[in-house]
Amino acid sequence: MVVKFLNPLADASQFPAPSVAATPKFRLRDLDLAQHTKGDVRQTTFTRNGRGAIGIAGSALKKKNAKNIILIPAYHCPALVEPFIWLDYEIRFYPVKPDLSVDISVLEQAMSKGDITHCVVVRYFGFGQNNNEVIQFLHTRPVEIIEDCAHSLFRFVDHFSDSGKQVPDVSASICSINKILPTIDGGALYLKQKYEAQLTHVGWAEEAKACAFIVGIPQFISKIKSVFKKVANSGQNEVFEPAENEDIALRYFQPIDLVSASYRNTKSIFCHSNLKLIRKKRRKNFEYIINNVNNPDVGTPLFTSLNEEDIPYVIPFLLTDEKFFFDIRKKGIQILRWEEVAVSECQVSQNYRSRLIQIPCHQQLSTKQLNFIVNTLNELHP
């Protein structure tokens, strides 16, 4: 089928610079150089971004001299789908339920013809839904299982942990490091059949430039220049971007993603971040917001509790009216939503593109910021 993505519903330029950011900033004090994550990095390929990891997985698992047909959940970011478009997969979407779990009987029906070769399973927002059951079902079918842990870095790390947890076997697993940790890039890839190709690192000058950006040097210089030039907001929207091939028609994925390694500093931050503390803080922040927001006029959280394995990337929150998205953003809270889902018959995904927002609960939120989020949501009314 031809994939058609819906157009964005809003643009960041419509809103003020956020006072509560969606993701954490780099702080040297958050690193512990004496410790190392339990994740076995020898089994991990560090890619420039999550979509690069997806593309490499799709390339490595592609069947030769055969038609490759992949099932992808209908609720998604285009960055999940575009690598498979570029790799010439036939894409079919399967629906999700309102809690983002999957009806296995519907999935079974989608696979009844026996022509599906690959299936993507998404762990939305750091929650497991019924993914383990879905993966167990897929093991009864001759398909390659690609687990999207873009929001679930901790689940990804548990693939290599010695904690004894039983992690369902998959053909590939990917995550986006910079969704959880304060890096400017970073995807990570696990392949059951180890990926042998070497990815290309940027030069050391570019690496140094990236390090400077992480610690805020270019941003600080831009602010100083803006004062002397008396130009309001000069340089505040500057974004550090690696050079990319601009000839590709897709909005997010670039072929260069398939051969680009992450910055070296990204791997260092990944290895030396205190993941145990980050797990604890994200769970605590989730519970604080959930326990103190009480305004059914504005909406309800998709999940109200955490099981022992849930480490939230954000709080998925279903608005009663999409207009509240604009109200919250104008208050300075950088909430996100997936507006550009592909056209499909899944009513949940078509509805959630405007109403399901992602509220920050990352490890660097202060008590003041947490209260600001709570008060903002509690004070909104039709």
pLDDT digits (tens, 9 = 90+) for 247-277: 436 899 999 999 999 999 999 999 889 888 9
pLDDT at residue 250, as a whole number: 87
CA distance 36 to 28: 15
Q: Has domain 39-191 been given CATH number 3.40.50.720? A: no
Per-residue pLDDT, averaged over 212-234, amounts to 56
CA distances from 272 to 10, 31, 159, 189, 206 (A): 36, 6, 18, 18, 22
Cβ atoms within 10 Å of 150's Cβ, excluding its own: 28
CA distances from 292 to 79, 139, 282 (A): 33, 41, 16
Q: What percentage of the chain carries pLDDT values higher than 90?
A: 71
Per-residue pLDDT, averaged over 86-90, amounts to 96
DSSP bridge pairs for 299: 319
Which of the pair, 229 or 104, is modelled with greater confidence?
104
Which of the pair, 240 or 27, is modelled with greater confidence?
27
Cβ atoms within 10 Å of 371's Cβ, excluding its own: 14
Strands of 356-360's sheet in order across: 299-301, 314-319, 356-360
Instruction: Please tell me the CATH code under which domain 275-379 is placed.
Output: 3.90.1150.10
- Angle between helix axes 264-272 and 204-215 (nearest 10 degrees) is 50
- Give the rounded distance of the alpha carbon of 282 from its chain centre: 15
3-state secondary structure the chain: CCCCECCCCCCHHHCCCCCECCCCCCCHHHECCCCCCCCCHHHCEEECCHHHHHHHHHHHCCCCCCCCEEEEECCCCHHHHHHHHHCCCEEEEECCCCCCCCCHHHHHHHCCCCCCCEEEEECHHHCCCCHHHHHHHHCCCCCEEEEECCCCHHHHHHCCCCCCCCCCCCCEEEEEHHHCCCCCCCEEEEECCCCCCCCECCCHHHHHHHHHHHHCHHHHHHHHHHHHHCCCCCCCCCCCCCCCCCCCCCCCCCHHHHHEECCHHHHHHHHHECHHHHHHHHHHHHHHHHHHCCCCCCEEECCCCCCCCCCCCEEEEEECCCHHHHHHHHCCECCECCCCCECCCCHHHHHHHHHEEEEECCCCCCHHHHHHHHHHHHHCCC
Lowest model confidence (mean pLDDT) among 95-109, 159-173, 324-338, 345-359: 159-173
CA distance 184 to 269: 11
Residues in the chain: 382
* Residue located via tokens 């994740």: 39
Q: How far apart are the first and last CA of the chain?
A: 40
- Asked whether residue 218 carries a pLDDT value surpassing 70, the answer given is no
What are 310's two structure tokens?
């849930």
CA distance 168 to 183: 28
- Asked whether residue 142 carries a pLDDT value surpassing 80, the answer given is yes
CA distance 59 to 56: 5
Per-residue pLDDT, averaged over 339-361, amounts to 97
Q: What is the pTM of this model?
A: 0.88
Lowest model confidence (mean pLDDT) among 25-29, 53-57, 336-340, 353-357: 25-29
pLDDT at residue 291, as a whole number: 97
166 and 192 Cβ atoms separated by less than 8 Å: no
Mean pLDDT, the chain, rounded, equals 88
Going by C-alpha positions, the residue among 372, 359, 178, 358 that lies closest to residue 262 is: 178
Going by C-alpha positions, the residue among 269, 251, 341, 257 that lies closest to residue 57 is: 257
DSSP bridge pairs for 20: 333
Strands of 172-176's sheet in order across: 45-47, 187-191, 172-176, 144-148, 118-122, 69-73, 90-94
pLDDT at residue 167, as a whole number: 60
Q: Where are the domains of the chain?
A: 39-191, 275-379
For 336, half-sphere exposure in the C-beta direction (CA atoms, 13 angstrom radius) is: 13
